[in-house]
Amino acid sequence: MKRRLVFRVNERLVDAEAWEETLALDWLRRELGLTGTKEGCREGDCGACLVLLGERGEAGPVWKAVPSCLLALGELDGRHVVTIEGIAAAGLTPVMEAFLDQGASQCGFCSPGFIVALTAFLVEGRIDPVRTLVSIEGNLCRCTGYGSIRRAADRLTKDFADLPRDLGARLAVLGKRGVLPPSLAALMTSLPEPGSRPAAAPEGLNLGGGTDWFVRNPDPEPGTGVAFTDRQAGLGRIERTGDFLSVGAAVTVRAFFEDLLVRAHAPGIEAFEAQMASLPIRNRATLAGNVVNASPIADMTALLLALDARARLRSASGTRDLPLADFFLGYKKTALRDGEFLEALLLPAAAGPVRLNFEKVSKRESLDIATANTALALRTEEDRISWARLSVGGMAPVPLAARAASEYLVGKIPDAATAREAARLALQDCSPLSDVRGSAGYRTRLLERLVLAHFVRLFPDRGLLEEFWP
Amino acid sequence: MKSWNPESVQNVLGRTKYIDDLPEPAGLLHGQPVVSKSAHGKLLSLDASAALALHPSVRVLTARDIPGENELGTAVSDEPLLVADEWTYRGQSLALVLADTRSLARRAAALVKIEGEELPVVTDPREARAKGMIILAPRTMRMGDPEAAFRDCAVVVSGRVESGGQEHVYLETQGATAQVRDGGGIFVLSGTQSPTGVQEAVARNLGLPMNAVEVDAPRLGGAFGGKEDQAAGWSALAALGAFVTGRPVKIYLNRKDDLTFTGKRHPYSSDYKLGLDAEGRILAFEVDYYQNSGACTDLSPAILSRTLFHAAGAYRIPNLRATGYMCRTNLPPFTAFRGFGAPQGIFVMEAALHKAAEAMGVDPIELQRKNLLRTGDSFHYGMPVEEARTERSVERALERSAWDRKRTEIDEFNRTRRDRKRGMAALPLCFGVSFTKLMMNQGGALVHVYRDGSVGVHTGAVEMGQGVNRKIQKVVALTLGIPEARVRIERTRTATVANTSPTAASTGTDLNGMAALVACEEIGKRLSAFRSESGLGDAPWETLVSKAHEARVDLSAHGFYATPGLFYDGKAERGSPFAYHVYGCAVLTAEVDVIRGTYRIDSATLVHDAGNMIDEVVDRGQAEGALAQGLGWALLEDLRYDGTGKLLSDTLSTYKLPDAHFLDFPLDLEFLADAPNPKAVLKSKAIGEPPFMYGIAGYFAVLDALKAARGDRLRVPGFHDLPLTPEKALDYLSGVIP
Ligand SMILES: Cc1cc2nc3c(=O)[nH]c(=O)nc-3n(C[C@H](O)[C@H](O)[C@H](O)COP(=O)(O)OP(=O)(O)OC[C@H]3O[C@@H](n4cnc5c(N)ncnc54)[C@H](O)[C@@H]3O)c2cc1C
Ligand code: FES
Ligand code: FES
């Protein structure tokens, strides 16, 4: 819909009547002539279109790199976008100089995206070598082979090792050291007031991060009514409510993995974050969107199924809860009724923490859709499994809760025979297809191994590896 | 400011203007091709009424609107600009829709109704050959008498090798803007590696003389061969639109269209037979290449010839027969891509050698070392091997990578670990430099010294990230004896340097840098004559130049360079087709996850012969980038068409190319020291393509690890079907691939 939007782009305040569903990328390039932001794919896979987005957090603005090709203009209201032009307004920055010293820009088409990603890395201020690489995992470069880019990034990691923790102080340092023009850095400590109230329209199209929807609708028709879940009060929270851990519809994948309640409930879960999409996508993608999209190979859905999640659906007439396994009716078909939206995902937490493992194989190890995935959550008492949930993705038209296998596991000792039987039972529910990501036969062979891998990983002391692969 | 590449400075500031970034001229129309929706069919009717009704700005152009010749093919006339009667691949242009905005043009294009009669589709090269669908005649290179030599062999192995296609994924997609020029004629701003090729195509399609068509090539956002011949069609369509409507027209493909409509690296299917004596010396090699050429000839003949020239890899083979077939299929015309047919040939050679090693129960490195080319040998096309640096590179790479120690460590690791296995492999490199088409080995330059002492350089080279402008800038600065900052490399345009060869075959600097050097020497000669005549002594450059100008000395010069010594007798398949060869060696290690069938490259050691480097930063970047693409081709990039000729990997979410994690391993790169090359500008060597081949070592390193998982790595049979995706790895581990 058309409404009044007020936001900042670099150092300039924009106050405009505009179509909310316009892509930020198009608008920046065409309306503002900010052509430093490039289109390399229009589907979130290349990072050439990255911009810095400042949005309201609990304690002031939060800055992240996000793909502008999957970002609705309406999402900018009351926010601040920084593009390469804003970063470069006062000339070369240390990030750019590191690139130049290493020859990290060849054809240069990817360069603005990388500069934005690494600038975001410094603005976020959590500097360590692992995060350095993660910060550019959403950017493709076809020319350099990344060697020079990694060398440049590593140097920045050294040069900016101890940035202040407080955003204001950090931005001041970054301004002083030329990472951002000081005037821009000063503006980035606060956000403008939104121009208008967005529609809270559960009847219309609800968008989370848009990382699925815009891939399917790369040229949205003006007039498509959209409501953004992150603009609705309370949907961005993870909280303990009674026996459940409630994950609001607007919670992003990144926020989920970083959340302390989540980490306490499934210790070690953060290790699986890297297997889902890329940082810029995780910055935007929601768990709710992952679920509603109902893709059979959705990674967060596989995790949620193993965590035994329920979907809380809200409509004008109230809410209803549904086991997540019952939410998927067929290929990309869900139990969501007209006028209903997914308000939260509820993780039963009364019985205490679970042990969790997630397995995913894709053609490329990172930033790729799974060929098959599976998650196993369980609790043990003494030697035996006392509770288990196994999920399977990529093996049927819907994400599967492997019910028979899950039930079978209860009361069993996790030995090789148990694992093999669980794999056999899980495969009984499967009807994989052959497609560009793999043949049906491959998927079957793979899934069996991934289920066995769960047990190897969760019970490392049982000598399972030796039994399976003598 | 440090001496950074001035163009890179603009890149990182986000100020480089690629085609879609430039301000659009007033009245611009956007063009969107209407393409075939099946791989083979007869066009019966094309109904544009719904498209035209969408918006008054919509225009629909078809073959009938082409005033000149409806043809793009240069080697063979088999590629219409717009299909008039029969389409031969899916995504072939049938009409061009023009409209005020890009999204209108796209929507209108979707409304054009095509009726056609479906015709049979062939996608497999062997099937095409069996049906006689061959482009031109098969071609054979021969040396010695392989048939006889096989009889003397102690070991003979044979097999079949597959290698897949590869999408370029230049980050900037194909595009062009065309405008009618004052006084008639057409100006095209084209994202091309071949401005003259575009000029010729536009002239031909519009029925204009070449001088009525001016083509400018701005900096490209990557090309890799994909914008050599295949940029012409989009430019020609934009030119057609401008010519017919009188308004500027821009065509800029989105990613999906670019992936679907354009050609890629040729897939090959090959049969080989290799014979060795009991000591492991190669005596005879026979190979048949079935090149999947796609639906149109495009550059396939030149690519096939490079395959044939590289049939023996880096090895001395006394008796050899290599035959290539260009198989016509109903897929988009496969085209130039870094390496240009050589990787496909070299992969077959390596596969054969690895198979022989299995048969003999020896480590492949032994056979590789035993058979390396040496100075004084002869290539199978009759050219003597001059200054071979094969052994030098290989020995150095083995030393630098601590091969023997690593082999022991890997064997030990493999003995103790069940869930993971490691592997290692080497690739010795020998790559011939020059266009295989003789005529193309020429370059031109126009150098202006302005009277303030600054210098403007025009050449035929197109900058696409490979650093050619940087190198030419240095060549000019060095030759004139002035600081680099005084030298500016101008955008490539056909009106300043004419009849240029495409910037391809790694020869950009060799040809254009040399032409610039020739021009600078000419100006230098005039200036030094003037210096002594006028008694200027050691007056600074600026003074010299301004005085020379006052004295009416010509401060501009055109330089021309044609690579000397090249000749080739196509009938005898004998000659000297290359100016020189590039040598090197890669050692790669890999680790396989035996449970999941996934793997990663652990390390790479490259020893590479780059001659006397003009710019080490550029050369390092080229070597690293080429290795990355080579690894992508060998392991990851899975170009898939289904049996109906539909591209399945038609987005970047289904076509995966290397990302930063995939390439997160230590890379040790050493350039051969003391390796001047008298055959190229400032004793340098071309660098764009050769290091691509190193990716092949990645295939064999992963395979080595997989073999270790299956048993005795020296004897277990491998398989040679590239890319070695995780799917194939698991199929091999679980015995589905025997
Ligand atoms: C480059 C890239 C990589 C990706 N990699 C992965 C990956 O590795 N693993 C993976 O699982 N997925 C991946 N995805 C897919 C996608 O990012 C995820 O599915 C993501 O979780 C979707 O969330 P979203 O908030 O962006 O969804 P959106 O696009 O906002 O929404 C998706 C759908 O759900 C609907 N919807 C959203 N929220 C609600 C709600 N609260 N109530 C009702 N309907 C709602 C929307 O209307 C829309 O139809 C990737 C996507 C991209 C672009
Ligand atoms: S354009 Fe590729 S991620 Fe946005
Ligand atoms: S420099 Fe060309 S894509 Fe990165």
Q: Which H or E run includes B701?
A: helix B695-710
Size of interface A-B (CB pairs under 8 A): 244
- Residue spans of the domains in chain A: they are 2-187, 234-468
Contact B727 A140 (CB under 8 A): no
d(CA A132, CA A114): 12
Residue A201 reports pLDDT greater than 80: no
Q: Does B735 touch chain A (CB under 8 A)?
A: no
pLDDT at A203: 57
Both tokens of B158, joined, read 């044979």
Contact B12 A111 (CB under 8 A): yes
From the CA of A321, how far away is ligand 1's center (Å)? Answer: 21
d(CA B640, CA A434): 13
d(CA B467, CA A291): 46
Q: Do domains A2-187 and A234-468 have the same CATH topology?
A: no
The neighbouring-strand residues paired with B737 are none
pLDDT at A202: 46
Q: Does A267 touch chain B (CB under 8 A)?
A: no
Q: What's the angle, vertex CA B437, arms to CA B433 and CA B442, rounded to 5? A: 70
Q: Does B643 touch chain A (CB under 8 A)?
A: no
Q: Does A368 touch chain B (CB under 8 A)?
A: yes
The neighbouring-strand residues paired with A310 are A323, A346
A-facing residues of B in 217-256 (CB < 8 A) are: 219-224, 254-255
Q: Which domains does chain B have, with CATH numbers?
A: 6-120+174-252 (3.90.1170.50), 268-436+574-733 (3.30.365.10), 442-562 (3.30.365.10)
Query: What one-character DSSP code corresponds to residue B581?
Result: E
d(CA B57, CA B75): 37
List the one residue out of A8, A39, A36, A6 whose CA is nearest residue A20: A6
Residue A115 reports pLDDT greater than 80: yes
Both tokens of A160, joined, read 């900016």
Based on the residue annotation, tell me whether B689 is a catalytic residue of this protein.
Answer: yes
**Which CATH architecture is the domain A234-468 placed in?**
2-Layer Sandwich (3.30)
Of B16, B171, B620, the CB nearest to A46: B171
Q: B424 near B406, Cβ under 8 Å?
A: yes
Q: How confident is the model at residue A198 (pLDDT cuts 50, 70, 90)?
A: low
pLDDT at A16: 94
Best residue among A46, A142, A149 to mutate for probing ligand 3, ranked by most atoms within 8 Å of CB: A142
DSSP conformation letters of B23-46 = PPPTT-EEEEEEE-SSSSEEEEEE
Decide the pairing of beta strands B574-576 and B567-569.
antiparallel
Residue labelled with tokens 């493909």? B253
A-facing residues of B in 446-485 (CB < 8 A) are: 464-467
Q: Does A436 touch chain B (CB under 8 A)?
A: yes
Give the mean pLDDT per block of 10 residues along chain B (738 residues).
87 98 96 98 98 98 98 95 98 98 96 98 98 98 98 98 98 98 93 98 98 97 97 98 98 98 98 98 98 98 98 98 98 98 98 98 98 97 96 98 98 96 98 95 98 98 96 97 96 96 94 98 97 93 97 98 96 97 98 97 98 97 98 98 97 97 97 96 97 98 98 96 98 95
Q: How far apart are the first and last CA of chain B?
A: 60
d(CA B500, CA B200): 11
pLDDT tens, A402-439? 999 999 999 999 999 999 999 999 999 999 999 999 99
| A200-210: average pLDDT | 77
Domain A2-187 in CATH: superfamily? Answer: Beta-grasp domain (3.10.20.30)
Contact B171 A142 (CB under 8 A): yes
Indicate if ipTM > 0.90. yes
Q: Whose CA is nearest to atom 3 of ligand 2?
A: A44
pLDDT at A200: 60
- Over its C-alpha atoms, chain A yields an Rg (Å, rounded) of 23
Both tokens of A140, joined, read 């493709």
Average pLDDT of chain A, as a whole number: 95
B-facing residues of A in 211-230 (CB < 8 A) are: 215, 218-219
A367 lines ligand 2 (CB under 6 A): no
DSSP conformation letters of A117-143 = HHHHHHHH----HHHHHHHTTT---SS
Q: How far apart are the first and last CA of chain A?
A: 62
Residue A335 reports pLDDT greater than 80: yes
The neighbouring-strand residues paired with A97 are none
Helix A147-159 vs helix B616-631: crossing angle, to nearest 10: 110
Helix B695-710 vs helix B726-733: crossing angle, to nearest 10: 30
Instruction: Count the neighbouring beta carbons within 10 Å of the beta carbon of residue B418.
Output: 15
- Whether cis (ω within 30° of 0) applies to the bond prior to B723 is yes
Please state the pTM of the whole predicted model.
0.98
Contact A449 B596 (CB under 8 A): yes
d(CA A437, CA A185): 44
List the one residue out of B191, B205, B279 whose CA is nearest residue B241: B205
Share of chain A above pLDDT 70, in %: 99
